[in-house]
Chain A
C-alpha cells in the first residue's frame, strides 16, 4: 500500500454562500508541508471567506475541508495553526494588556480548563520575544505600540505555540514599505528555516512573489493555483491577466527585465 502523503490543508470542492450571494464556487486545493502560498484576488473575491471556512467560521454550502488529514469540524489541535488577522481589526482598543500577556494568549490552544501559564510557558514566550527582537516591548502596553510593533507582537502570539501552519490575512495593511519588507522577510525565514507552511492572503500580488513559492489566485473560483514560475509561462494566465500584469505577479525576472 502506498504511503499517503500528509497534507496540511485539503480543500475539496468548497462552495460558500451568504444568503443568496455566492462567495466561493467549487474551490479545491492542497497546502503541503513547508509550502509558502500567496492567496491573491481582487476585493470581494472570497479570500477572507476561504480563510474563515478553513477555521470553520462560515458554513460550507458544499464540499469539505481537512486540516492535518482530519475533517475540519473534528479538528481540535488548534495549536498547530497560527492565525494573524487583518491589522488589529477585532482587537479591543481599550484593553490594558502588556505585550507579554498578549503573546501568552497564543499558548491557550494547547491547554484545557483551568488554563494556566507555567514557568515553562514563560520561557517559550521569552524565546519568541528574543527571536523576533522585541525584548524592549515586553512590559509595554499593547495598545500603546505602533502598527508595525503590534503586528510583530501578534506574529509572536502565533509563533509561540510552535505551529506547523501560519495563516496571515492582509498582514501588511498598516505597515510602511520598510516594515512591510522586513516583516515578509521574517515570514520567509520562518518558512525556510523552521519549515512552517504559510498561507498569506494579500491583494498585492506584485509584491508577494518575491517571497512566496506558490500562487493561489481566486475570484470566487480558482483562477490559478501553482508555482509562481509556472504562472509566468502559462498562456491561459497571459490571456486572463495580460502580459504586463503577469510578469509583475510572477516576480521571476530581475529589474532589467532579463529572465
Chain B
C-alpha cells in the first residue's frame, strides 16, 4: 500500500486526534454500556446540536459553547430522573428533543449558517484544525485520568451497586462523574463522527469487546483496541475511497461487532 498519504498534515492531525478520542470513547463507553446508560450519549449529542447552533448564531466557537450547555443538560437528565416521576430513558428523551428543536429553531432564525450546522451532523475529522487537535488530546487525557482515578469505584458500582455502597462508595457521585465525562466526550466526538453517530463510537467498541473479553481489564483494553482500529482504518478508507469518514468509522465498528459475535459462536 502506498503510505505517502501519511505525509499530509491533515491526515496526521486526523490520526492523532482520532486515536485519542477513540480510546477515550471506548473506555468510557464500557461503563455506560454496562450501567445501561449508553443512550445518554445519544441524548447528549442531540443537545450538542442545539448548543452548536447557539454558538454559530452568536458567532462564538461552537465547541466552547457546547461544552457547558451539554454538561448542564446532563445534570438536567440526572435531576429529572431523581426528582420527577420519570425513568432515565424518558428523561433522556425529553432533554434530547429540546436540544434538537432549539437547534432547528435557531437555524431557521438565522437563515445563514444552515450548511455549517449540518456539517456538524456528520462530522469531518479530515478538516480538524491544529487547535482542535490540541483540545482533543487535552480533554481525552483529562477524561482518561479521571477514569483511572475512579476505576475501582466505577468497577464496583457497575458490577454491584448495592454492595459498592456497603464499602463506602458514593453511587450518586459516581453517576455524576460518569455523566460529566460523557458530556465532555460527546462534544469531543462530534468532530470525528458527527452528532448523529456519536453514540455509536461509545457503544459499539464496548459491545464488541463484551462478546470476547475474559475479564474486566481485558474488556476495556479490547474495546479501546477495536475503537482505535476502526478510527484509523476508517480515516484511511474514507481518504482513498472518498467516503464520509464518520460513517466509514461506524461501519467498521459494526463489522468488528459482527465478527466478535461470530468469534464467540465458534470459540
A residues contacting B by CB (< 8 A) are: 55, 57, 76, 78-79, 81, 83, 85, 89-92, 94-98, 101-102, 105-106, 108-109, 111, 113-117, 139, 141, 157
Q: B159 touching A92 by the CB < 8 A rule?
A: yes
CB nearest neighbor in B for A144 = B214
Determine the chain B residues whose CB is within 8 A of the CB of A106 once the complex forms: 167
Name the residue among A57, A96, A109, A141 with the largest chain B CB count within 10 angstroms. Answer: A96
Number of A-B contacts (CB under 8 A): 88
Residue of A76, A83, A96 near B163 (CB, 8 A) is A83
**Could you say which residues of chain A place their CB within 8 Å of the CB of B158?**
92, 95
User: Would A57 and B216 count as touching, CB distance under 8 A?
Assistant: no
Is the pair B156, A105 in contact by a Cβ cutoff of 8 Å?
yes
Given A90-B161, A108-B164; 8 other pairs, CB 8 A cutoff:
A83-B163, A91-B159, A96-B214, A96-B215, A101-B215, A105-B152, A105-B156, A116-B152
Q: Which residues of A contact B214 (CB under 8 A)?
A: 96, 98, 139, 141
Give B29 Cβ to nearest chain A Cβ, in Å: 14
The residues of B that contact A79 with a CB separation of less than 8 Å are 167
Tell whether, in the assembled complex, residue A81 and residue B166 are in contact, meaning their CB atoms are under 8 Å apart. yes
Interface residues of B in 198-247 (CB under 8 A from A): 210, 213-219
Cβ distance A8 to chain B, nearest Cβ, rounded Å? 15
Q: Which residues of A contact B152 (CB under 8 A)?
A: 105, 108, 111, 115-117
| Contact between A105 and B155, CB atoms less than 8 A apart | yes
Chain A hits for B129, CB < 8 A: none
User: In this assembly, does B168 line the interface, its C-beta being within 8 Å of a C-beta of chain A?
Assistant: yes
Name the interface residues of B130-175: CB closer than 8 Å to any CB of A: 148-153, 155-156, 158-169
Closest CB in chain B relative to A113 CB, distance in Å: 6
- Chain A binding surface, main DSSP class: loop
Bound CA span A234–B20, Å: 71
Q: Which residue of B lies closest to A105 (CB)?
A: B156
Asked if B151 and A115 make an inter-chain contact with CB atoms under 8 angstroms apart, the answer reads yes
A-chain residues with CB within 8 Å of residue B164 when the two chains form the complex: 105, 108
A97 with B159: CB separation less than 8 A: yes
Distance of B215 from chain A, by nearest CB (Å): 4
Query: Given A96-B213, A96-B219, A115-B152, is A91 in contact with B160 using a C-beta cutoff of 8 Å?
Result: yes
**Once the chains bind, are A94 and B210 in contact (CB under 8 Å)?**
yes
* B window 77-109: CB within 8 A of A: none
Q: How far is the CB of B40 from chain A (nearest CB, A)?
A: 17
Kindly state the separation between the CA atoms of A113 and B152 in the bound complex, as whole angstroms: 9
State whether the Cβ of B34 lies closer than 8 Å to any Cβ in chain A.
Answer: yes
Q: Please, which residues of chain A bring their CB within 8 A of the CB of B149?
A: 113-114
| Residues on B with beta carbons closer than 8 Å to the beta carbon of A141 | 214-215
- Residue in B148, B160, B166 whose CB lies within 8 Å of A55: B166
> How far is it, in angstroms, between the C-alpha of A116 and the C-alpha of B155 when the chains are bound?
12
The 8 tightest CB contacts between A and B, nearest first, are A109-B167, A115-B152, A90-B162, A98-B215, A83-B166, A78-B168, A96-B219, A114-B149
What chain A residues lie within 8 Å of B169 (beta carbons)? 108
Asked if residues B156 and A108 are in contact (CB atoms below 8 Å), the reply is yes
Given contacts A92-B34, A114-B148, contact A105 B163 (CB under 8 A): yes
Give Cα distance in the complex from A92 to B153, angstroms: 15
Q: For the complex, what is the distance from the CA of A139 to the CA of B219, rounded to whole Å?
A: 14
Residues of chain B with a CB closer than 8 A to A113's CB: 149-150, 153
Contacts of B216 in A (CB 8 A): 95-98, 101
